[in-house]
Amino acid sequence: MVNIDDLKFDDKGLIPAIVVDADSGKVLTLAYMNKESLEISLKEKKTCFWSRSRQELWRKGETSGHYQHIESITADCDRDALTVKVHKDGPACHLGTDSCFMYPLLGEASGADEKGFDPKDLYKLLEGRKAEMPEGSYTSYLFEKGMDKILKKVGEECTEVIIAAKGNDKPETIYEIADLMYHVMVMMVEMGISVEEIMDELASRHIIDHKVKQEKMK
C-alpha cells in the first residue's frame, strides 16, 4: 500500500486525479487533489478535490447531490498521479453530461454511452437545479413559477407532439417528444416522483400483461 507521504505533489501542492466509473470503466473527469482533500476522500469514501479556480476544497456532490462514492484510489508508477474508481450518483460534468470527456479530437464518439445520457442523470441534474436555483436557468424559472406553470408547459408540449406526429414529420416529432419528456421530468421532480417509481410501474404492467397472455394460452 502506498502512503500519502510517498506521493509527489507539484509545486502548488496538487496531484492530478483521474476519476473513473467503477462500473463501466469510463473516464469521468480530471480533477486535482491536495493532501487535505485526499485525506478527506480517504476518510469519507467520497471524492473531495481542490478547486484551482475558487482556491478552496470542493466536495463533489455537495450542492448537486451527484456524489462519487470511492471504490479505490491507485497511484501511478511515478507516484505523481492518481486514478480514483467511483460509483456515481449522477453526472460527473457540471454541464450535466455523464463524463467531462465528450469532445473527440480524433475519431468519433459513438453509441448511447458516449452521448452520456441517462434519464436518471437528467433527473439528478433537475434536482440540482431545484436545490441551487442558478440565475438565468430555464429550469430554475419553471421551479420558481411552480406547478401551474410546469403543467401548462407539459400541456403545450403534448399538443406540439400531436401536431408534429399528425403531420408525419419524424424529426420534428422526435424533437417535441424530447421537449415533452424534459417537462414531464421537471414535473416529476416537483412532485417527488422518481424515475425508479415510473420504471417499477411499467415493469408491473409488463408482468401482468405476460400473465394474462399465459392464461389465454391455456
CATH at 170: 1.10.287.1080
pLDDT along the chain (218 residues), means of 10: 92 96 89 96 96 90 87 95 93 78 68 56 85 85 96 96 95 92 96 92 76 62
Count of structural domains, the chain: 2
**Containing structural domain, residue 158:** 118-217
Is 110 within a domain? no
In this structure, are 76 and 135 located in the same domain?
no
Output the pLDDT for position 110.
40
For cell 411499467, the residue is 202
- The three state secondary structure string of the chain is CCCHHHCCCCCCCCEEEEEEECCCCCEEEEEEECHHHHHHHHHHCECEEEECCCCEEEECCCCCCCCEEEEEEEECCCCCCEEEEEEECCCCCCCCCCCCCCCCCCCCCCHHHHHCCCHHHHHHHHHHHHHHCCCCCHHHHHHHHCHHHHHHHHHHHHHHHHHHHHCCCHHHHHHHHHHHHHHHHHHHHHHCCCHHHHHHHHHHHHHHHHHHHHHHHC
In this structure, are 125 and 74 located in the same domain?
no
State the Rg of the chain over Cα: 22
Output the pLDDT for position 1.
82
Is 104 within a domain? no
Is 156 within a domain? yes
Is 141 within a domain? yes
In this structure, are 126 and 182 located in the same domain?
yes
Is 100 within a domain? no
Is 93 within a domain? no
Output the pLDDT for position 111.
38
What CA–CA distance (Å, rounded) separates 84 from 80? 13
In this structure, are 39 and 130 located in the same domain?
no
Is 184 within a domain? yes
Output the pLDDT for position 89.
87
What CA–CA distance (Å, rounded) separates 147 from 160? 20
Output the pLDDT for position 154.
97
In this structure, are 62 and 142 located in the same domain?
no
What CA–CA distance (Å, rounded) separates 110 from 108? 6
- CA dihedral for 127, 130, 133, 134, sign (positive or negative): positive
Query: In the numeric block, which cell numbers belong to residue 163?
Result: 401536431
In this structure, are 212 and 129 located in the same domain?
yes
In this structure, are 206 and 129 located in the same domain?
yes
Output the pLDDT for position 25.
86
Is 70 within a domain? yes
CATH at 40: 3.10.20.810
In this structure, are 122 and 207 located in the same domain?
yes
In this structure, are 123 and 213 located in the same domain?
yes
In this structure, are 129 and 213 located in the same domain?
yes
